[in-house]
Amino acid sequence: MSDLPKPAVAVADADEVQCGKACAMLQQLDYPATPLYSRLDLEAYLQNQPDGIVILDMDTIPADNRFFRELKRKAPGLYVLALSSRSYHPGLEEAMGSHIYACLAKPLDPEEFRYWMKSIAENVAARQSAAP
């Protein structure tokens, strides 16, 4: 992945301090990072970046299956990395199985983030090579 451009990442987290820390860590890893503090901020961001990567803090930004379905309907190329302090989210089985690329534990671990970014890059490359 080192020779591929690093995609922009948006961090959606209602806790501004926590969001700032995550963005700073991403920038240290050379990923452009945009802080978003609400679902409205996220929706506005996706109008310009529908094929990007979003780290969504599920502890501070309320989200349900309907929210994730709408998100993927509006931005089908979006990769959602959920961030949470909990390991289980009852009622979000559909979203976890269909709309969320990965669920990461808090605090965001740089190595785990690198792993998932490599996975996303490989997935994007495979899609591009399969396209006619």
Residue 111's Cβ-count burial label (10 Å; 0-12, 13-18, 19+) is exposed
Domain assignment present for residue 1? The answer is: no
Check if the beta carbon of residue 78 is closer than 8 Å to that of residue 46.
Answer: yes
Domain assignment present for residue 65? The answer is: yes
- Collect all residues with Cβ–Cβ distance below 8 Å to 31 and sequence separation of at least 6: 6, 7, 8, 9, 117
Comparing 87 with 99, the larger pLDDT belongs to 99
Mean pLDDT of 14-32: 93
Structural domain of 42: 9-130
Domain assignment present for residue 3? The answer is: no
| CATH assignment at residue 91 | 3.40.50.2300
Domain assignment present for residue 107? The answer is: yes
pLDDT of 25 higher than 60: yes
Mean pLDDT of 71-96: 79
Least confident range from 17-26, 38-47, 93-102, 117-126: namely 93-102
CA distance 105 to 87: 8
pLDDT of 4 higher than 70: no
Domain assignment present for residue 95? The answer is: yes
Check if the beta carbon of residue 82 is closer than 8 Å to that of residue 64.
Answer: no
Mean pLDDT of 56-72: 89
Number of domains the chain contains? 1
Residue 100's Cβ-count burial label (10 Å; 0-12, 13-18, 19+) is buried
Domain assignment present for residue 68? The answer is: yes
Q: What percent of the chain has pLDDT over 70?
A: 87
Domain assignment present for residue 60? The answer is: yes
Average pLDDT of the residues of the chain: 86
DSSP annotation of 76: T
Q: What pLDDT does 62 receive?
A: 87
Q: How confident is the model at residue 1 (pLDDT cuts 50, 70, 90)?
A: very low
Domain assignment present for residue 2? The answer is: no
Comparing 41 with 128, the larger pLDDT belongs to 41
